[in-house]
Amino acid sequence: QAPQEEWDALDKYASTVGLDKILDLRGFYIKAGQMAASNIGNAFPKIWQNTMSVLQDDCPYKSFEEVRAIVEADLNLNLKLKAEKKVKLEDVFVEFERRPIGAASIGQVHRAKLRGTNESVVVKVQYPEVEGLFRGDVRTMIMFCKVAQPVHVPALEEIEVQFMTEFDYRKEALQLQTVRENMVRAGLCFVNDNGNADTVCCNKERAFNKSKSCCSAPSQFMGVCEVPRPYMDLCSKNVLVMEYLDGQKLADGLQQDLERHAIRNGQTLEDFRADQEQKDREARVAKIELMGPSAQEMDHYIALLDGQRRLKNLKAMLNNLFSWRRRPREEYEGKHTLPLNHARLVDELLYIHGHQILVDGYFNGDPHPGNILLLNGDDKRAKSFSWLFNLLSGCSGSP
């Protein structure tokens, strides 16, 4: 075997053993695994990133009966109902999916529908024992570092302080609400007010805080993100209820887009990646910086593909109308098959986070791929691509 193949085999074995041990220990160690999956510090090989990626939202989860008990206990405490009138899960939610749509280090997330309004929501449920686990893990590491690596003690003590803010979902709901108001005020997120999305940003939000600029974002960034609305009256220490937004993880959306691009080039995904890696190696040897297409160039390319798609659909329609007895019916190609404008997505992500940090001073402090979604958007707002951004509540706002 070549040396690189030997390293890859070792990484695969070691990362699998490490993942099993992390899932056994849970607590802070899952957070550490998430850092490896996100390649914090650019320190982890691709094999480690892929192995640890399940920790971002696909950890082992608790049973529905345990989740019901946590939610009902917090609902009764939060709603301050009389002892003889215990609220049940069904009193608040007309539907509540038994299987979570995601599970990570401190809790899991379920889809549900509110009783009365029938609004789709997600319910984030915290594991009651997780705070004690985290505290114990960090304290253990601090004690060890005081003996062996004292230089790391201040950083770990700060990590302990910051992590402790994650264990009260009421604070997270307030952070989510604050970020949402900031994004609306800037025009980056539109909220429909009686059918007029601009009203909230340009009138109501100006009255909310006259010291901040309203709809200050450049036109190309207007309405590019969505931030789910928290239901403050249903949020408690261990339960966070927020608006459901339909989408997929950023990494998954980009993966599917790459697969479609490979097919358009008549290649398999593996062959396409191998070609790109070879070009990257050659560029590094030649000390050449490879540059991808700009957002404007991608717009032209997507428009060309869209024209081809429309022509193909027209031919399919004519065939289905006039030749249905002699030829098999042809399928139509939807806009979801068009490629993403990667350059524009990067521009928008950088602008959104830059605005949060430099203008609002209140920002997404945990932007790993599991906390950013690509949403299914309508044609009017999606423009040249089929998804919009969502900053999940899992991204802690930081003052």
To which H or E segment does residue 276 belong? helix 269-285
Low-confidence winner among 4-18, 292-306, 379-393 (lowest mean pLDDT): 379-393
Global pTM exceeds 0.85: no
pLDDT(27) > 50: yes
Name the residue with higher pLDDT: 379 or 317: 317
Q: Two tokens at 307?
A: 């024209």
Question: In 216-362, where do the E strands start and end?
Answer: 225-226, 239-243, 247-249
pLDDT(324) > 70: no
pLDDT(389) > 80: no
User: Could you tell me the pLDDT band of residue 350, with boundaries at 50, 70 and 90?
Assistant: very high
pLDDT(361) > 70: yes
Convert the pLDDT of each residue in 150-206 to its tens digit: 999 999 898 888 877 789 999 999 999 999 999 999 999 877 544 343 434 444 343
Convert the pLDDT of each residue in 238-283 to its tens digit: 999 999 998 888 888 888 999 999 998 899 999 998 999 899 889 9
How far apart (Å, rounded) are the C-alpha atoms in residues 79 and 12? 49
- Give pLDDT, residue 372: 85
pLDDT(210) > 90: no
Q: Two tokens at 263?
A: 């097919």
How far apart (Å, rounded) are the C-alpha atoms in residues 253 and 287? 31
Q: Are 373 and 338 in contact (CB under 8 A)?
A: no
Q: Are 161 and 271 in contact (CB under 8 A)?
A: no
Q: Are 191 and 245 in contact (CB under 8 A)?
A: no
- Give pLDDT, residue 370: 65
pLDDT(313) > 70: yes
Name the residue with higher pLDDT: 395 or 347: 347
Low-confidence winner among 160-174, 199-213, 279-293, 320-334 (lowest mean pLDDT): 199-213
Q: How many CB atoms lie within 10 A of CB 293?
A: 13
How far apart (Å, rounded) are the C-alpha atoms in residues 227 and 190? 9
Q: Two tokens at 102?
A: 């995601």
User: Helices (H), strands (E): how many in the chain?
Assistant: 15, 11
> Looking up tokens 């068009």, which residue turns up?
338
How far apart (Å, rounded) are the C-alpha atoms in residues 252 and 233? 33
Q: Are 197 and 204 in contact (CB under 8 A)?
A: no
